[in-house]
Chains A and B, each alone.
Chain A
């Protein structure tokens, strides 16, 4: 059964040392999958790499065909068991990584090794399914470099190539690929939506506002430092207290959970330029898998592929699955819905009959005291302010009737508790009210001149409808913890969750850290704005700005091919220019002129014909020219091949050339 172990490297002659490079490059390529894949996937592959390395060094035998078949079936089964499929992002990547390792275990020939290298490139690109951030991209660049070096190594000629040379050539090749990469990036036709549409995978791990609000639904967000969106303003940014970013509006309440109403589309609101309340800005929204778009309260313009709902928040046609950029205008001084229809008024007043009886009673008591809606609202806010209410991110659990329990027992909570309770109180008192969710605040990054809004800035507030004033924003959280609104959530929480200890210990160190975070986020901002958000819209915009108008995908591909062709031609020209015959010698230039002069008379010098032989041939073919040609050639030869140049004689040579007039 067993055959004498074959000398594998016989079939990878001279280049066999390159196999270790290939193994190392594959190792580099699969490391990031430790974060994306079950550990056993990467570990098994690393073991396969080590085994092949051991074979190469003569310590281990090559696995037999049976073991390989068995391993392949086993690995496929494990992937199937883990994911239930062999397709899709996670299962596909797991299979690719495992099979790359197994392929190495049957790599005997040059052809096999080449195949593994190209599998390596494939493995590298799969990392982008998981992360498209700068560190990931940088690491991928290193991996591509390592793989290219292995490729160079594998294709080096006979003899040992110094490592520096392999790396140098790989670097040169990648450098030459940069213009092609830029052209492909700018012109490759984009599909709307993510290129790798794998819906069941892509929602995992993405955070954002939810499409309903119940106690505790926002608190998870408040712990997250991840950016939600970034805004750059055309003019001055609004004051911190004005930075309310409007998201979904909830009008339905079932006693515990708030939900949005129907997304009835309405026209965009009048723009009315040159008013003081007008703010224009560009917003880069991180993917959050929902359809709404965030906007400064209240948006008046609608970006393309989006709609304005009756409740005045923006909804995109498709879920936001990749970073999108849109330009917007908002007005802070707008009267929203001056006339409230009967149906909408009923909706804005509805409360489940048995919900929050104590709250309803309290509201009705207030109603009896206050005729005016205004004063009633003030009374409610005063209630929050003067009674012992606390702002905290870790409130006690609310069970049976969350509103009553919060208002009369726990009295501790954060924005969503206050907003929810306030709206219930208002409705019970007969004032139309609703909950608005979104973000409040943001950090201004002076380096990048933009406002960064994090998930932790998520917020919920209330709107009440008042006769003649439309929907008016009321933020009950401000009554309890005004610093939350004025200075941001980080300050508001500093006594509760607290900043990390070391910031408190050393303010200077904290400043350094803050500065670093500003830097890092500005880089992220440009990366996401210019690289990740470069979708079909921006591509169109760029082409139009370049004066190319609207190109369809055929036009783009044609342009792409033409440009890449031009790049190749430029590199070819540089290569030829560098390898051209040296013409720097002025003697050679004069001699060329001499040859051209004779060539016009039909006396062409063959490229390999040496000067004296040429002169003798001319003497035979054109005896009339023999004397001047011989004189010139003698002088030329003496100067070019004789000992030492002589400027004076160089002048004579030109004189001799003038005498030749065939």
Chain B
């Protein structure tokens, strides 16, 4: 196909990352690709699914493959902001307060079951995500670079949870679902080695500077006027009165474009196609759009309708 990425080394690196991830999580090339694109677009990822479908494995595998430090925070109802951000403790030896960084000071943070903690703790993490820095006791501390949060939540559990408000859902570039593996993938899983062991053995395919270079390359992916016409037509459609409760915000549009660029890069292209927009529209817009009528419609249906309503110029 039309693989015109100038730097073949970059393309090879992306392929290696994808290949390695696919050896750990079977039968989910789509979500894996989206997760990688999300990371390359410097966005955060929300995985919404049942327990045990491989959310943690995905996060862990991503961290290993990309050579990132990894921390997992299990969100519970008694979690405090300090448990995420860190705390200053008085050192009797040195006679002064010393800051003990919390798990958030990691390159890849897995925030497990984020909807089970209180809004106060949720917003501690979400603010860190937005600003790439943490302010504790008057001191502002930068978070490591790159910084990537994968949050998970279980949509089935309702009792004792604090669902994220829409404004905070907006902080996540994408929301994806993993879903059950198909029979063949499940068979391979059953036959294969223990995932946990396997993940521990994964070698890093890129180092931090190479990853940052990939992230920079995303912004270089060419966006033509024709593509912007299409993107704006989609946005304009969501803002027509009466169809959606809220149209897509400028932040959402930027997210859509950035995600499409990353998607094109993962596909080894140096320019964005309408296909890219259509591919990233469900995970990017799904958690941001709600129809005014028939609010119960699944997000996939909503974005499907949106795609079908806007002609490609």
| A interface residues with partner B (beta carbon < 8 Å) | 157, 581-582, 585, 587-588, 606-613, 634, 637-638, 640-643
Contacts and interface: CB of A to CB of B under 8 A. Distances in A.
B273 A612 contact: yes
Contacts of A606: 308
B275 A588 contact: no
Interface of B: 1-2, 4, 222, 224, 226-227, 229, 241, 270-275, 278, 307-313
**Central interface residue in A588, A612, A634, A641, by most chain B CB within 10 Å:** A641
Contacts of B308: 606, 608
Contacts of B222: 641-643
A271 B272 CA distance: 89
Contact of A607 (B270, B272, B311): B311
Given A610-B273, A640-B226, A643-B222, 11 more contacts: A585-B226, A608-B310, A608-B312, A610-B312, A611-B312, A640-B224, A641-B227, A642-B224, A642-B270, A642-B271, A643-B270
A637 B273 contact: yes
Contacts of A640: 224, 226
A581 B232 CA distance: 12
Contacts of B275: 610-613
Contacts of A610: 273-275, 278, 312
A659 to B, nearest CB: 18
Contacts of A638: 2, 4, 271
Contacts of A612: 1, 273, 275
Contact of B226 (A613, A634, A641): A641
7 contacts: A610-B278, A610-B312, A611-B273, A611-B312, A641-B226, A641-B273, A642-B271
Nearest to B225: A585
Q: Which of A587, A606, A634, A642 has the most CB of B within 10 A?
A: A642
Nearest to A633: B2
Nearest to B2: A634
Contact of B274 (A581, A588, A611, A643): A611
Contacts of A609: 312
A640 B272 CA distance: 10
B4 A642 contact: yes
Contacts of B271: 638, 641-643
Shortest 6 CB-CB distances between A and B: which pairs?
A: A607-B311, A610-B274, A643-B222, A610-B275, A642-B271, A641-B224
A611 B275 CA distance: 8
A610 B308 CA distance: 11
Contacts of A641: 222, 224, 226-227, 271-274
A200 to B, nearest CB: 54
Nearest to B308: A608
Contacts of B224: 640-643
Contacts of B227: 641
A454 to B, nearest CB: 61
Contacts of A611: 273-275, 312
B268 to A, nearest CB: 13
A38 to B, nearest CB: 48
A585 B222 CA distance: 18
Nearest to A585: B226
Nearest to A609: B312
Contacts of A637: 2, 273
Which has the most chain B C-beta neighbours within 10 Å: A585, A608, A613, A634?
A608
A98 B1 CA distance: 78
Given A641-B224, A642-B4, A642-B224, A608 B311 contact: yes
B273 A588 contact: no
B187 to A, nearest CB: 28
B161 to A, nearest CB: 34
A581 B270 contact: no
A599 to B, nearest CB: 14
A588 B310 CA distance: 16
B309 A608 contact: yes
Nearest to A645: B224
B54 to A, nearest CB: 29
B254 to A, nearest CB: 19
A280 B272 CA distance: 81
A588 B311 CA distance: 13
A607 B278 CA distance: 13
Contacts of B309: 608
Contacts of B274: 610-611, 641
A607 B311 CA distance: 5
Contacts of B2: 634, 637-638
B298 to A, nearest CB: 19
Nearest to A605: B312
Contacts of B229: 582
B249 to A, nearest CB: 16
Contacts of B273: 610-612, 637, 641
A611 B1 CA distance: 13
Nearest to B222: A643
Contacts of A643: 222, 224, 270-271
A581 B312 contact: no
Nearest to A588: B313
Contacts of A607: 311-312
B285 to A, nearest CB: 15
B244 to A, nearest CB: 15
A153 to B, nearest CB: 18
A307 to B, nearest CB: 67
B271 to A, nearest CB: 5
Contact of A581 (B4, B241, B278, B311): B311
Contacts of B241: 157
B207 to A, nearest CB: 29
